[in-house]
Structure 1
Amino acid sequence: MAVNDDAKKLRWVESVARLMDSQFRLPGTNFRFGLDPILGLVPFLGDVSSFAVSGTLVLTMARHGASRHLIIRMVVNIILDMVIGSIPILGALFDFGYKANERNVRLLKAHYHEGKYQGSGTGFLTVIIIIMVLAFALVMYGLAKLIGWLYGYVQDLW
């Protein structure tokens, strides 16, 4: 019964990753995109919601046997997506092409295919959550500093 439960949860991960990264197709082309780049157009709220969904997917994959090395690679994908994705205009373009969630699902499938499935790693998940929260806080701090600097720059021009 547990194996069937794992399969359902991993199918859920795959479908959410597809929704976030490639659910829609630009008519007349093969170019696919998902909700992630669309949400990224909404300042702050879009980045936070995309980060939360991506983090939830990685945590689910970690609970279902991803190794520490694989989880670190997945978190790096998410942090890269979050950091570059938070840059206005460039970040939106990056989000259309990078597709961090689908990259993570492909990594997990390759991990299972190689037979490196290890089972749950609850202690390591705690460390990953802390790292993700710190990375998110660092990006928000950087954005606040950038906005403060821009505000001061504009004030000096007036």
Structure 2
Amino acid sequence: MNLIEKERLRKRLERLAWLTDSSIPVPGLNARVGIDPLIGLLPWFGDAIGALLSSYIVAVAARLGAPKSVLMKMGFNVAVDAIIGVVPGVGDLFDLGWKANQRNVRLLEYYIERPHQAVVTSRLFLAFLTLLLVGTVIGIGFLGFWLVRWLWLAVSGHGSW
């Protein structure tokens, strides 16, 4: 793929991100939303369409050569938008600030301008996210253990810990 094609794809992604995230002014709020929250008004089906549009941006980023760490960070942005977007009302309000598609286009542009720094920051983000998830699982495990132990002692009549 030559430089002109890459630039044309990047511009197409910018337009798509603007359309989905910021093309519609919100009167009285000095904010903008895109068609994503409007599409999201269709329960489940609308959120799936929004996730597909967002996934297109990630797919084009892969085609442009973005590394796995950058693509995974982009995927995280899409996942957060899709998961919270499923919650009626809350997801639409969330779209006012999150703007996953514009985040992902900026991330791709950052990778194109500063590839090494983009990879490093994406890897650090993924490492932090992994530690957070592992810590959460361990915390839930400990909480479950203490809850079962407390219930066992309460039911068996052995009183204190």
Counterparts of 1:59 and 1:18, CA distance in 2: 17
Q: Is residue 35 from structure 1 mapped to residue 24 from structure 2 by the alignment?
A: no
CA drift of 1:44 comes to 1.4
2:91 maps to: 91
Partner letter of residue 48 of structure 1?
A: A
Q: Any idea what the Cα deviations from partners look like across 1:113-147, whole Å, max 9, x if unmatched?
A: 1134xxxxxxxxxxxxxxxxxxxxxxxxxxxxxxx
Task: Report the structure number with the largest CA radius of gyration.
Answer: 2
1:31-70 CA distances to partner (integer Å, 9 max, x unpaired)?
A: 1110011111111121011011001111011110211110
Question: More relative contact order in 1 or in 2 (CA 8 Å, sep 6+)?
Answer: 1
Paired residue for 2:6?
6
- TM-score normalized by the length of structure 2: 0.68
CA positional deviation for 1:26? 2.2
User: CA separation in 2, counterparts of 1:41 and 1:28?
Assistant: 21
What's the CA shift string for 1:79-124, capped at 9, x where partnerless?
11101110122112112221000000111111111134xxxxxxxx
Write the letter of the residue equivalent to 1:68: K
Q: How does 1:130-145 map onto structure 2 within 5 Å?
A: none
Give the ranges of 4+ consecutive aligned residues of structure 1 lying more than 4 Å apart after TM superposition. none
Q: CA deviation at 1:7?
A: 0.7
Displacement of 1:73 in angstroms is: 0.1
Query: Match of 1:32, SS?
Result: strand
1:1-158 pair list within 5 angstroms: 2-27=2-27, 29-116=29-116
Unaligned runs of 5+ in 2: 117-161
Secondary structure at 2:87 match in 1: coil
Give the Å deviation of 1:30: 2.8
What is the alpha-carbon distance in structure 2 between the residues aligned to residue 36 and residue 17 of structure 1?
Answer: 10
User: Quick one: distance in 1 between partners of 2:9 and 2:114?
Assistant: 20
Equivalenced residues, count: 117
